[in-house]
Amino acid sequence: MTTITVITEEATRVEGTVDGTTGAVLVDPEGLTSALGWTLNPNGLCRGDICVPVADPAALRHGDQIDLVAVAAALGRLTVVDAEAGIVAVSLSGEQRRQALRDHRAPEFELPDLDGGRHSLTEWRGSKKLLVTFSSWCGCRYDLPGWQALHDELADDRFTVIAVAIDNSAEDVRPFTDGITMPVLYDPQHLLTELYAISNVPTVVWIDEDDTIVRPNSEAFSSDLFRAVTGVDSAPHLDAVRRWVRELVVPELPAEDPVADLTDDEVLARLHFRVATEALRQGNEAVTRSHLDEAGHLAPDDLTIWRAAMPLIGEDPFGADFFARYEAWRQAGSPFHGMPAMTDA
């Protein structure tokens, strides 16, 4: 038995055994509940009041232990296992993401602020919300004052901007938040990129008082600081937000689902990224590089994967290598999971 780090919404350490040949991760029943929140009973898997039938629950057992990877598969979740490092990453509920993309129900999440306090989306129920993802490795970090100005302008209309940094630590983000009083959270496990199918920053999502997505993932900026690079004018989007908040005018969406779901490879890329960042926290540079390489291979167009990886391995996310790759991405049509920026309000 050894200590295994299992990463889902957060990293949990349990005692178990990783079989490097079969990929099985064997834990006791308490370890399964601690790591995934599920219990195995004779009829299937249960988590609180939710139960999922399993055709052959005995197949998930190995004597007194339970195969965590087999349990994840029974729940329809993907896994990445690094047996040598003792790290396992398990995907989130794909159904939550599909509901967001198909039915426009905003998935719940809980993330820390920069001082360690925990916040969930339901905290702002009853207000219109702009979910704005950014990062310390993106020039969009300099857009925070503009989002703050919009937050302040519309605060009396029951509106808030929630900024979420796709970053590894609070200290990566803190230098860019002087004078910022709107909620700023950070997402070290890249939960939002999986739950909301986000593949680039900035990505902005409009969410109403009842946590319904009224305008899904789109590119938007709060200022024209980088207009020469992005070609995006900030005014149409900002004016549209004002009309939505004050006049209840919602821009028309395409008839078909405007945001494509993540592929299995893109989900696996996020799992490899989580294994890599956990290995980095443990000081294992070789494992970090190996999994970041695999993540970039699986999701070559996803900037929340390949650009986010650059500072983790000592590369400059604003350097010549980035701009060369960014230009190639632009030439390929800037593929991302979202709608184009607004051109008129």
Asked whether residue 320 falls in the same domain as residue 269, the answer is yes
CATH of the domain at 243: 3.40.30.10
Tell whether 33 and 143 lie within a shared domain. no
Same domain assignment for residues 200 and 271: no
Question: Residue 340: inside a domain, yes or no?
Answer: no
Which of 40, 55, 90 is the C-terminal boundary of a domain? 90
Whole-Å CA distances, 344 to 66, 166, 272: 55, 28, 39
State which of 247, 279, 296 marks the end of a domain.
247
166: in domain: yes
**pLDDT confidence of residue 293:** 97
pLDDT of residue 91: 98
pLDDT of residue 345: 54
Question: 58 is written with which tokens?
Answer: 């005995």
Domains in the chain, number: 3
Predicted confidence at residue 195, as pLDDT, reads: 97
Quickly state the pLDDT bin for 19 (edges 50, 70, 90): confident
Q: What is the pLDDT of residue 22?
A: 86
Looking at the fold, whether 162 and 101 belong to one and the same domain comes out as yes
344 has a pLDDT exceeding 80: no
**Domain around 280:** 264-331
Whether 70 shows a pLDDT value over 60: the answer reads yes
Whether 255 is in a domain gets the answer no
Segment among 61-65, 242-246, 301-305 with least mean pLDDT? 61-65
Whether residues 149 and 293 fall in one domain: no
- The pLDDT assigned to 54 comes to 94
As a whole number, mean pLDDT of residues 155-176 equals 97
**Is there a domain that residue 345 lies in?**
no
**pLDDT of amino acid 207:** 98
Q: Which residues of 189-205 are buried (b: 16+ CB within 10 A; e: fewer)?
A: bbbbbbbbbbbbbbbbb
* Backbone angles phi and psi of 174, in degrees to 5: -55, -40
Does 18 lie in the same domain as 66? yes
On whether residue 183 sits in a domain, the answer given is: yes
What does the pLDDT look like over 251-309, one tens digit per residue? 988 878 889 999 999 999 999 999 999 999 999 999 999 999 999 999 999 999 999 99
Name the domain boundary from 247, 282, 310.
247
What pLDDT is stored for residue 23 in this prediction? 87
CA distances from 139 to 87, 176, 203, 250, 332 (A): 32, 11, 13, 28, 21
